[in-house]
Amino acid sequence: MAKKVLLLVGDFVEDYEAMVPFQAMGSIGITVDTVAPDRKKGDVVPTAVHDFTGDQTYKELRGHNFAINKDFDQVNPEEYDGLYIAGGRSAEYIRLNSRVLEITRHFFEKNKPVAAICHGIQVLTAAKVLAGRTLTAYVAVGPDIELAGGTWKNIPADQAIVDDNLVTSPAWPGHQAILKEFYKLLNINITF
């Protein structure tokens, strides 16, 4: 039976952190519903491209339009096998939406697979689901994890950490690692 994953995004989600998992999961037959607070099927959210150009932090450029394919108000988390939370600036404000937090908590209460990348972990800190967990995130989110009762690990950007049903990666270079582990959590075996 095909798996179904909910992908949480919002305005100025990091371009790669929405586009790559959406396309990668779809390419192996996972149904991916993309949602954002206050958005309906057919709407788009603007994305941002984050890159390091020698400054102390990333530079943000306007990316693409990312399509929403399900009404946010119609999300029933019971219908999904897993949750994927994209990073970027969107995470800092979608975490203020009580329904986003309720949806996120559902996946932890039911021990369903959750993947979160970069700033997407801010949704997890706001949902108060990190007590006792070990995970990673973009370096600026590390203190938030500690304040939320988790243990933050500073790992290379192309790696991921798994803690029970949760897999995290610090940034978009970690797509291969986070998706590989997320597939395992979803009980998807890819062989060649």
Would you name the residues annotated as active-site residues?
119
Q: Which of 108, 63, 55 is nearest to 82 (CA)?
A: 108
Residue-wise over 9-24: b if at least 16 C-beta within 10 A, else e?
Answer: bbbbbbbbbbbbbbeb
* CB 48 within 8 Å of CB 12: yes
Q: What is the DSSP letter of 11?
A: T
Distance CA 184, CA 113 (A): 9
